[in-house]
Structure 1
Amino acid sequence: MSRLARIVAPALALLAPLGLPFVPAQAATDVQVVTSPGGITAWLVEEPSIPMVAIEITFKGGASREPDDKVGVTSFLSTMLDEGAGELESAAFSARADQLALKYGFEAGRDSFSVSARMLSETRADSVELLRSALVEPRFDPEPLERMRATILANLREAATDPQAILARTWREAMFGDDPYARPLEGTPESVAAIGAEDLRAAREWALNRSRMAIGVVGDITAEELGPLLDRLLGDLPNAPWEPLGPAELAADRSLEVVDFDIPQSTASFVQEGLARDDPDFIPAYVMNHILGGGGFTSRLTEEVREKRGLTYGVYSYLAPYDRAALMAGGVSSANDRVAEAIEVIRAEWARMRDEGVSEEELDAAKRYLTGAYPLRFDANAKIAGQLAGLMEEGFTPDYLTERNGLIEAVSVDDIARVAGRLMDPDRLKVVVIGQPEGLPPADQPAD
């Protein structure tokens, strides 16, 4: 059995009785590292039994590279690439995609810009041509540009009164200050209003720069066929070397912050330093976080905040290793008169993890879940393509696919104790609350 097959096969056995879609076992062949004649590299899993191909492309950089006066231009670009390209205006482009049964998507992130596509084998050549035109020859015509601008501005107006959006904006600004990570991905009403076609063309030049690119491909295509396809699809994109920004500095001020908002239930975010993805302690931290708040109903935070005290319907924590900063964060919602107690319990659990670590029973349960659930990330072609591109982007080799569960299994209680000592300090938590919480310092001013 191949390396990837050993990962995927257990998931197939779980999914088959449920009638859920999955990649047939014979599709789970070894990952091939393919380099095109033009020098473009991709990871490929061949699966000829399903007549389709899934492609995931990640361009490094993302919204962090936006000019200060063009905040939101990367997100704007993601909405415009299929609004007409080459000789096809917006409606004609959509009609052609429907005719080919081509499914695609463009997404702007803080550190990357991603392109996803699924195409049938019988229309693959024409689908590649259409997708290429969107990437290489977008039109940015006035009518769709103004239509998409109106949509973005409507979303921004809605976000201005949405408690979750206000909360996210507040903690990002508090933690990142003037760094690009603090900016709203969709921009501001002022910046979006000022973005024109020339700005979008300029953004395409750096957002779709193939000098820093990761590609995962899964489906009915051979390595010999994939190379020329990559050159045709991506070969005419910009290929200019560029230097990423330096590390983002996190603010030292970790005082509690309250945003006044007239809602019956307060919502809180808590944020602190995390670990970079290439840190040797990342895997132990990942397991630790699962036990603390990443494991849903089995986590300590759920047990202490929800089950024992009934303070919330949901509480969670997670690791967020951005390219230029690593965070450990989480959230909770609770009634205004109980959110202060919920925050107090969360801080206590932060300290308990630091001081006591975890038990062997907790660690064994976390390992069983994390290793058993991993194959479910590979139950469809598009998911596999996304995993391949993600691992390639993060600098791994294909061997990580088989090594990952072993790394989880190797984590010990001593490893958890070490990483908890590095990370877990309730005094380093930046807590931001939106609502009208009782028992917390009042907000300086109401939300906009």
Structure 2
Amino acid sequence: MKRIDLMAGAALAFTLAACTTAEPVTPTEVTEEVTAELVEEEAGLDVMTHEGDFAQIQQFTTPGGVSVWLVSEPSIPILSLQMAWEGGEASDPEGMEGLADAVVYHMNEGAGDLDSLGFQTRMEELNMSFSCGASNLWTSCSASMLTDNAGEAMDLISEAFEDPRFDEGPFQRFLREQQVSLNTRETNPGYLAWRAQAQALYPDHPLARETSAESVASLTPELAKAHMRKLMVKDRLLVTAVGAVTPEELAPMIDEIAANLPETSDLPDIPAIDYTAADTFGTFVVPLPQPQSLVQFVAPGVERKDPEFFPAYVLNYTFGGGGFKSRLMDTLRVQQGLTYGVYTSLSFGEKFQSWNGGGQTKNESAGDFIAGLKDEMSKISEGGVTEEELADAKAYLMGSYPLAFDSNAKIAGQMMSVRQDELGVDYFDRRNAMVEAVTLDDVNAVAAEYLAPERFSFIVVGEPEGLE
């Protein structure tokens, strides 16, 4: 492989999502092929440069103590920046679910002398973007700007961290939007299926908690501003960046932001969910008046550090992750006409691992659809896959991988994922080799262990017919 020309790749579309399989990552192993050189920079930064196949990644710690991964790309005058902190929605205090969402909502809604409109107008003047978000376990912010005015753009971002306003107007808008979400989710099949799964498998876990009318009503701008200072702290800050900038230029900009953050904070520990085949609950129906039934299925999955992870990742492409190349799509849509689409994916988060999937079908064919799913599970768990299927899966998964690096923002995002999961700077160079190393015996052993139909639970949202 050669290092990617970012300009040439910018026109490509990132199609990995079509296989509905999350990008795999595993703990790092130092390889002989990849070298790193410690460079003493004139500005006093110690920059560790990783000469990888996909990118040259510079690792350094700013004078203010922030760890940064940077890909300097002088041919594109855009700087893409990502920041992340461990701790997210699951860290909301009990009874205040929605607090992390309130924090991230307001990060670009005014700071210092600029109210919401003023802040948005200033971003437009600078041709920049800045926004934040929260997942269950992480809080993150991203920004994109022209390198010509990166200094001014970073000044604005720094102001957002130093003196966020949390004004009453935007906060009331946030509350109204939350109320709309509370109402619409009760007729959202996907949300209802998630709720049923969470209540069946881990009802008392923080990941099962939901916002409610009561929790949203308890929120105030003051609480959100105080919680921001717990989520966004210096000692948990990870930074990745890609663009026409050097470590010496970027370091003071990052330190300007970090100077406004508390040094540390205490957040509640989120335990891992112990999910095994013993937790299987058969078929559960969530009544919802609609002409189609949403069928979702879930079974225990594979931890990322498990040696079986990459065989499972490759197998998933053939089973249900490869679109029209997958067995489930070919059988249930093309041959039997039971659905417009069906998929499978691996969920390999730090706290919960599962092998899951889903599809929609007419209410009257729900029983046939589930029977077809179980039949395909039996076939692949008992008979495995063919050499041709394995070769096709590996060729796609390896061949499409460079498309994950066709823009500055994507590269910054890929690096952040690797940092969050502590995979090592050489993961990008090792990943395709780990896919290539998967053998037919590996894949079929995983199929026999993980894809037997009796391991799966089924959740049906709708008015299904024909269920046993």
Q: Which residue of 1 aligns with 2:259?
A: 235
Q: 1:183 to 1:35 in 2, by over 3 A?
A: same
- Check the 8 A contact 2:166/2:221 in 1, yes or no: yes
Instruction: Note the C-alpha offset of 1:7.
Output: 5.2
- Check the 8 A contact 1:7/1:375 in 2, yes or no: no
Q: Which residue of 2 aligns with 1:201?
A: 225
Is 1:136 aligned to residue 136 of structure 2?
Answer: no
Q: Which residue of 2 aligns with 1:21?
A: none
Q: Which residue of 1 aligns with 2:82?
A: 56
Q: 1:16 to 1:112 in 2, by over 3 A?
A: closer
Q: Which residue of 2 aligns with 1:402?
A: 429
- Check the 8 A contact 1:54/1:219 in 2, yes or no: yes
Instruction: Name the stretch that deviates more: 79-88 or 247-256.
Output: 247-256
- Check the 8 A contact 1:275/1:321 in 2, yes or no: yes
Q: 1:420 to 1:135 in 2, by over 3 A?
A: farther
Is 1:249 aligned to residue 245 of structure 2?
Answer: no
Q: Which residue of 2 aligns with 1:45?
A: 71
Q: Deviations over 1:170-224 (max 9, x none)?
A: 222222212111123xx22221121112221232123223333332200011011
**Structure 2, unaligned runs of 5 or more:** 14-52
Residue identity (%): 35
Q: Which residue of 2 aligns with 1:303?
A: 330
Distance 1:347 1:372 in 2: 31
Q: 1:17 to 1:48 in 2, by over 3 A?
A: closer
- Secondary structure (helix, strand or coil) at the match of 1:132 reads helix
Q: Which residue of 1 aligns with 2:451?
A: 424
Q: Which residue of 2 aligns with 1:83?
A: 109
- Check the 8 A contact 1:111/1:322 in 2, yes or no: no
Q: Which residue of 1 aligns with 2:320?
A: 293
**Structure 1, unaligned runs of 5 or more:** 19-26, 442-448
Of residues 100, 118, 126 in structure 1, which corresponds to 2:152?
Answer: 126
Distance 1:222 1:63 in 2: 34
Instruction: Name the stretch that deviates more: 163-172 or 240-249.
Output: 240-249
Is 1:317 aligned to residue 331 of structure 2?
Answer: no
Letter in 1 for 2:150: R
Distance 1:430 1:17 in 2: 38
Instruction: Note the C-alpha offset of 1:418.
Output: 2.6
Distance 2:421 2:9 in 1: 29
Of residues 207, 218, 226 in structure 1, which corresponds to 2:250?
Answer: 226
CA RMSD of aligned residues (A): 2.2
Distance 1:223 1:94 in 2: 28
Instruction: Name the stretch that deviates more: 168-177 or 302-311.
Output: 168-177
- Check the 8 A contact 1:171/1:269 in 2, yes or no: no
- Check the 8 A contact 1:105/1:115 in 2, yes or no: yes
Distance 2:216 2:185 in 1: 14
TM-score (norm 1): 0.90
Of residues 382, 403, 412 in structure 1, which corresponds to 2:439?
Answer: 412
Distance 1:329 1:188 in 2: 27
- Secondary structure (helix, strand or coil) at the match of 1:53 reads strand
Instruction: Note the C-alpha offset of 1:17.
Output: 9.0
- Check the 8 A contact 1:216/1:387 in 2, yes or no: no
Structure 1 segment 101-120 matched on structure 2, within 5 A: 101-120=127-146
Instruction: Note the C-alpha offset of 1:15.
Output: 6.9
- Check the 8 A contact 2:293/2:460 in 1, yes or no: yes
Q: Deviations over 1:381-438 (max 9, x none)?
A: 1111100111111101221111111111110011112322332232221211011111
Q: 1:246 to 1:16 in 2, by over 3 A?
A: closer
Structure 1 segment 368-447 matched on structure 2, within 5 A: 368-440=395-467
- Check the 8 A contact 1:66/1:74 in 2, yes or no: yes
Q: 1:134 to 1:15 in 2, by over 3 A?
A: closer
- Secondary structure (helix, strand or coil) at the match of 1:160 reads helix
Q: Deviations over 1:12-46 (max 9, x none)?
A: 7677699xxxxxxxx96411112111221121111
Instruction: Note the C-alpha offset of 1:63.
Output: 1.0
Q: Deviations over 1:50-91 (max 9, x none)?
A: 212001122112111111111111112221111111222111
Q: 1:81 to 1:17 in 2, by over 3 A?
A: closer
Q: Which residue of 1 aligns with 2:376?
A: 349
Distance 2:121 2:60 in 1: 32
Distance 2:66 2:76 in 1: 25
Q: 1:54 to 1:224 in 2, by over 3 A?
A: same
Q: Which residue of 2 aligns with 1:149?
A: 175
Is 1:210 aligned to residue 237 of structure 2?
Answer: no
Q: 1:385 to 1:334 in 2, by over 3 A?
A: same
- Check the 8 A contact 2:123/2:129 in 1, yes or no: yes
Distance 2:54 2:275 in 1: 42
Letter in 2 for 1:265: Q
- Check the 8 A contact 1:111/1:323 in 2, yes or no: no
- Check the 8 A contact 2:302/2:308 in 1, yes or no: yes
- Check the 8 A contact 1:8/1:376 in 2, yes or no: no
Of residues 187, 191, 197 in structure 1, which corresponds to 2:215?
Answer: 191
TM-score (norm 2): 0.86
Q: Which residue of 2 aligns with 1:6?
A: 2
Distance 1:373 1:210 in 2: 36
- Secondary structure (helix, strand or coil) at the match of 1:8 reads coil
Distance 2:142 2:189 in 1: 31
Instruction: Note the C-alpha offset of 1:273.
Output: 1.2
Letter in 2 for 1:31: I
- Secondary structure (helix, strand or coil) at the match of 1:31 reads strand
